[in-house]
Structure 1
């Protein structure tokens, strides 16, 4: 198999990673509920940080629901997907810094990091959808974040949910197109 074929195999078998993105929609919905709660900002930020631990178990459940593989052992690029996922964790010190030094902006940092980390999946799954949406989401969250205050922080997860749902729909359409081509 050549490189393009390996990436296409991952795209089809993993369904462009829509299970992980669907999981992210749920996690961001939890964050939205936390931000509209009556807790203090410090408590909200701690709960938001802890809520990210739901991502992987939910992604496994969505993988079963969508009948998507989350890794393809026979594909040598599969391990790269794992590293791309882990890469987001390397950015968490920035989120922790924001939680301590800029608590009113932590959710903005998390939104931008989440959005930006999606960019390399465009190469990984051989689809420009990830690249375009990653840039659009990162810049949009920055611009929205510049206009929010402590009382309106809930708007960040609301936009992230919307962006992620759009991303899932676009990526699923891309997967369906690739699956049709691979069967013909």
Structure 2
């Protein structure tokens, strides 16, 4: 099987990682709501802890939706796992920012999260991932720095919207991919 065929198969079996965006919408919603009831500094630490929840929530969502999150039968699954694991190495930076300037946490989490999706653009042949990367970084930067006093509330609600739009774009891409794959399955 050639690389393009492997990528197409991987994208179809994982639904281009859409479970991560559905789970992300839920997490960003919760972070936004929590910002109304907790003191800002404590809320920033909740953000830090929440970064470790995105992956397991994405797996849970994929199980509920019956999506093959890991696509173990595809050699590209290792690459997908490595790309996703990059986030783990941001932890020291996030912890330092959280303890030094907790008000910067929404900006930093948003930028790092957005940037980590860029390689998935290639893996999934996805313009939706490029959209997600660029808009998440822009929104996190603009909202997180220009409205720094309200960033713990505004960034999560803004990113929830970006994740929603990304999920809808991914759904459209997957539907198109399924239509394109049908003739090859029937033939």
TM-score (norm: length of structure 2): 0.91
Displacement of 1:95 in angstroms is 1.4
Q: Relative to 1, partners in 2 of residues 1:92 and 1:17: Cα closer, same or farther, differing over 3 Å?
A: same
Displacement of 1:143 in angstroms is 1.6
What residue in structure 1 maps to residue 98 of structure 2? 99
Question: How many residues are paired up?
Answer: 183
* In 1: Cα distance, 2:177 partner to 2:22 partner: 20
What residue in structure 2 maps to residue 30 of structure 1? 30
Task: For residues 127-184 of structure 1, give each alpha carbon's deviation from its aligned partner in whole angstroms, at most 9, with x where no partner exists.
Answer: 1220232112212221222211324531100110000000000001100110111112
Q: Relative to 1, partners in 2 of residues 1:122 and 1:146: Cα closer, same or farther, differing over 3 Å?
A: same
- Asked if the contact 1:129/1:167 (under 8 Å) is kept, the reply is yes
Q: Relative to 1, partners in 2 of residues 1:157 and 1:7: Cα closer, same or farther, differing over 3 Å?
A: same
* In 2: Cα distance, 1:152 partner to 1:85 partner: 25
What residue in structure 1 maps to residue 15 of structure 2? 15
Q: Which runs of 5+ in 2 are unaligned?
A: none
Displacement of 1:33 in angstroms is 1.7
- Asked if the contact 1:4/1:126 (under 8 Å) is kept, the reply is no
Q: Which runs of 5+ in 1 are unaligned?
A: none
What residue in structure 2 maps to residue 66 of structure 1? 65
* In 1: Cα distance, 2:180 partner to 2:151 partner: 45
- Asked if the contact 1:20/1:56 (under 8 Å) is kept, the reply is yes
- Asked if the contact 2:97/2:105 (under 8 Å) is kept, the reply is yes
TM-score (norm: length of structure 1): 0.93
Q: Verify: 1:122 aligned to 2:121, yes or no.
A: yes
* Farther off after superposition, 144-153 or 25-34: 144-153
* Farther off after superposition, 91-100 or 153-162: 91-100
Task: For residues 45-66 of structure 1, give each alpha carbon's deviation from its aligned partner in whole angstroms, at most 9, with x where no partner exists.
Answer: 2222222333233222211232
Displacement of 1:108 in angstroms is 1.1
What residue in structure 1 maps to residue 81 of structure 2? 82
CA RMSD of aligned residues (A): 1.4
